[in-house]
Structure 1
């Protein structure tokens, strides 16, 4: 059935879900658009915000669900198309990401098809930047980042799209920084405190992320939570329409398959999957590892591909001083067998002696040493003495984030600990209680090794020999 050009334009002008389809094709030329009921549902909620039926909206949706295209790209273009005087502010955790969404929105509004359906929404030639572009009616879309400056700016609609950096969300300090920015800076940018609207869209990352904080401390937020798979029958009601998500169904039948989701859960770990894909983060008041996440070996392989030693050093021997810890791994086919562990309070001479002894015993491919405090002197001394396998490690993130990133390796049986050993008691105590354990030196040693190994594998490139 062929539609006239005027009828197609009328549909795009009046039906936001069809408009999203057109926006997708403009931003992703050559990529097939696969419609789904959840996009229609999101469109209904955004229309309710547009008409001020909803003024506070949280949308939690799994990755790759077109949330940013719908909310940060298509919706601002739609709002400005219907009223070019509206002012929209949008923020993401990354300025680069925020600018990308802004440029995609501007690309849509600069297209011929958009100009035909919204001829009154013309872009200003005097103020047309990547981070902020105006219409001739003095409306605009302004892009900023979480923590970024918004001085002098104000909006009728505020959008927060992925406020947390996933690599930093386990840091209490950095989570609170996002929450403080929202409460003390961004929310104050509403032009009309009574009629202005705010949309927060994100995949859940932590029980105490911005979504969790707002839902726990206020009942003013409308909450649209869409998991990748329904554990029970879920019904959504909006604008006299009902959407039903039946138990056992996956979100997108064409894209999401149960066997792939199971594999993904194994790869990223239960905690990350529960948060990002089911929108049900596991409360972090407990340890990051459960006993069932830890896997043991009874017999050690006859050979290994290589050994790694990971040192977390300290040189004080007082009662309250930290321990020096070395964990030693035999690696075969990317499985890490914890074959030995040293944990003691050592003076500097004794520390050097133990490093030399363990290096002589295992002939490790890498000796990892944290590059700070006593570790800096160790690195200098051993490199001076000809140890070419000494690797200086400079931590970039906090302890909890570093260890949380390797939890999936435990859950996927990529790291194995001996079923019986002299150090299992203290090892398991620290593993099962972190981040609430009294000591965390073993944790630091383990996460240092596993994070180094992950980065080393990811940085490997294929080399083609010249012919």
Structure 2
């Protein structure tokens, strides 16, 4: 009797394993639930976005396994603390081997240590007793079972890399780019370029360009971060999933707005108190990127949009009387759209206020720029008491020399800055906050405010440079004053 019961119990356990294995193979979300406690001991909370992401990744896997043309690449922008790495970078590679153990996968993150940690947790799942029992066809090779990379006995492999590292000689059926840059790296133009260039390199590591999808998952950190870079390069072949912590027009696809509860993505883990704490810890700019999925706070970063006041041009003309307009320039001789433009700004001090009278950006080659400037300045208030002060970097000195030789403009250089742009903008921020920088109304106002308030997460910052020069000049924070300049020009 006991022997029969034992036999039945053993048989029943085998049946249960077979049923669980079938269910896990059929649905990635069931796999996540089944193997959650292998790597995470806390009780799971499966907010709606978790099964949604699992379903999207499962759809992506079908043509991968069939070796057919990929559906698309995927970008997922989602806040920290939403189980995104567990699903995408740890669980997904382990699950996809249950579909086809011959698949090769490359995973990337901003640091080597983090990439190895993700791969190790995947390996913990694959080497667990439960996984071996449910999927005995997937077994790691003992001679190729390292931490950073490992292979299975069916020719499948997992390779890891990190932004800026080389990954030569390896090609994959699936590439996962998980947090290719951290918030500190996103502040640096050089680090952003490294992450974007590495993303380009990852794209060259495909078994087949049309069949290997790339999954990029990250928070938004800068207008020109990896997400921004990819959307500019090939947005038509990307499915963009954007899930900010709070309901907004940035939710993509738009139908996912219906899943938000009380305006929150995940009211349990990212409720009011958690989000308020994040705002305090990260500040408005950090919160905007990591939780709102927008590169920069809507209100502004170092400079707030509301700090700028405006007056009609007619009111400015009445106040100005004969006060000279002083112009500032940040030049670049190119007409190519992908390069930095030249920026110019007119300014005037009346009493204790500095008025920005006009600002523009243009992309012109050197001869065209020299021809453009005299007319532009005169149309915008230049007189013989005005001057044009140009930043002496790169081609600035050449522009100054040519204008002095071929025109009657009063042209000189601004003092070369010794501090960073951020430091200089912070230094003039009290002047702007107190309402002492006033914009004369014009169609340039919106672009100007967006760029200055968006710094340092905007791609371009010409207006930031010339605004800091203008405020420093009018507040007497430069060595020369206007009288000295006019004497130098023989006025």
Matched, 1:171 2:182: no
* 1:160 paired to 2:206: no
What is the alpha-carbon distance in structure 1 between the residues aligned to residue 193 and residue 113 of structure 2? Answer: 22
Displacement of 1:70 after TM fit?
A: 0.7
In structure 2, relative to structure 1, the CA distance for the partners of 1:403 and 1:69 (3 Å cut) is: farther
Match of 2:198 in 1: 181
Q: Of Structure 1 and Structure 2, which has the larger fraction of its residues in strand?
A: 1
SS at 1:158's partner residue? strand
Matched ranges for 1:443-454 at <5 A: none
Q: Aligned equivalents of 1:35 and 1:400: distance in 2?
A: 44
Which position in structure 1 is the counterpart of 2:103? 86
Normalization by structure 1: what TM-score? 0.60
The alpha-carbon deviation at position 9 of structure 1 amounts to 3.1
TM-aligned CA distance change 1:262 to 1:200, over 3 Å = same
How far did residue 291 of structure 1 move?
A: 6.3
Which residue is equivalent to 1:38? 49
Question: CA 1:7–1:18 in 2, change beyond 3 Å: closer, same or farther?
Answer: same
**Contact kept? 2:17, 2:134, Cα under 8 Å:** no
Which of the residues 16, 26, 29 maps onto 1:14? 26
Q: What is the TM-score when the length of structure 2 is the normalising length?
A: 0.58
Secondary structure of the residue that 2:119 maps to in structure 1? helix
Give 3-state SS (helix, strand or coil) of 1:224's partner.
strand
Q: Does residue 274 in structure 1 map to residue 288 in structure 2?
A: yes
Alpha-carbon displacement from aligned partner over 1:82-127 (angstroms, at most 9, x marks no partner): 2111000011010000000010011100001111221111110110
What's the secondary structure of 1:100's corresponding residue? Answer: helix
Q: 1:439 offset after TM fit, Å?
A: 9.1
| 1:437 alignment counterpart | 465
SS at match of 1:437: helix
Distance 1:400 1:272, change over 3 A: farther
Q: Give the aligned CA root-mean-square deviation in angstroms.
A: 3.9
Shift of 1:250: 1.0
Secondary structure (helix, strand or coil) at the match of 2:143 reads strand
Q: 2:220 aligns with which of 204, 224, 230?
A: 204
Question: Of the two, which has the highest radius of gyration?
Answer: 2
Please name the residue that 1:215 is paired with: 231
1:257 matched residue in structure 2: 271
**Alpha-carbon contact 2:264-2:271 (below 8 Å) kept:** yes
CA–CA distance in structure 1, aligned partners of residues 454 and 156 of structure 2: 53
Q: CA shift at 1:193, angstroms? A: 1.3
Render the CA deviation track for 1:238-272: whole Å, top value 9, x for unaligned: 9xxx8833474211122121243134224422222
Which ranges in structure 2 are unaligned for 5 or more consecutive residues? 1-12, 64-69, 309-418, 438-451, 456-460, 470-491
Alignment of 1:87-102 (within 5 A): 87-102=104-119
What CA deviation, in whole Å up to 9, does each residue of 1:330-367 have, x standing for no partner? xxxxxxxxxxxxxxxxxxxxxxxxxxxxxxxxxxxxxx
C-alpha separation between the residues in 2 aligned to 1:26 and 1:127? 23
CA distance in 2, matches of 1:403, 1:64: 35
Query: SS in structure 1 opposite 2:116?
Result: helix
Any idea what SS the aligned residue of 2:54 has?
A: helix
Task: Tell whether the 8 Å contact from 1:82 to 1:118 is kept in structure 2 after alignment.
Answer: no
Contact 1:232 1:247 in 2 (8 A): no
Q: String of CA shifts for 1:404-438, please: whole Å, max 9, x gaps.
A: 9x99xxxxxxx999999xxx98xxxxx97976235
Residue 22 of structure 2 aligns to a residue whose secondary structure is helix
Deviation string for 1:26-78 (max 9, x for gaps)? 1122x111111101111011111111353311111100111111111100001
Whole-angstrom CA distance in 2 between matches of 1:176 and 1:267: 27
Q: Give, in angstroms, the shift of residue 132 of structure 1.
A: 0.6
- Is 1:25 the counterpart of 2:37? The answer is yes
Q: Distance in 2 between matches of 1:141 and 1:107?
A: 13
Secondary structure of residue in 1 paired with 2:32? helix
User: Shift of residue 81 of structure 1?
Assistant: 2.1
2:115·2:160 contact (CA, 8 Å) conserved in 1? yes
- Note if contact 1:169-1:401 (Cα within 8 Å) is conserved in structure 2: no
For residue 186 of structure 2, give the secondary structure of its aligned residue in structure 1: coil
**Partner residue of 2:153 out of 136, 140, 165:** 136
User: Which residue of structure 2 lines up, in the alignment, with residue 371 of structure 1?
Assistant: none
Matched, 1:48 2:76: no
In structure 2, the CA distance between the partners of 1:153 and 1:234, relative to structure 1 (3 Å rule), is closer
Mapping 1:314-463, distance limit 5 Å: 399=420, 436-437=464-465
Deviation per CA, 1:129-181, whole angstroms, max 9, x where unpaired?
A: 00111000111000111111111111111111001121121222221221122
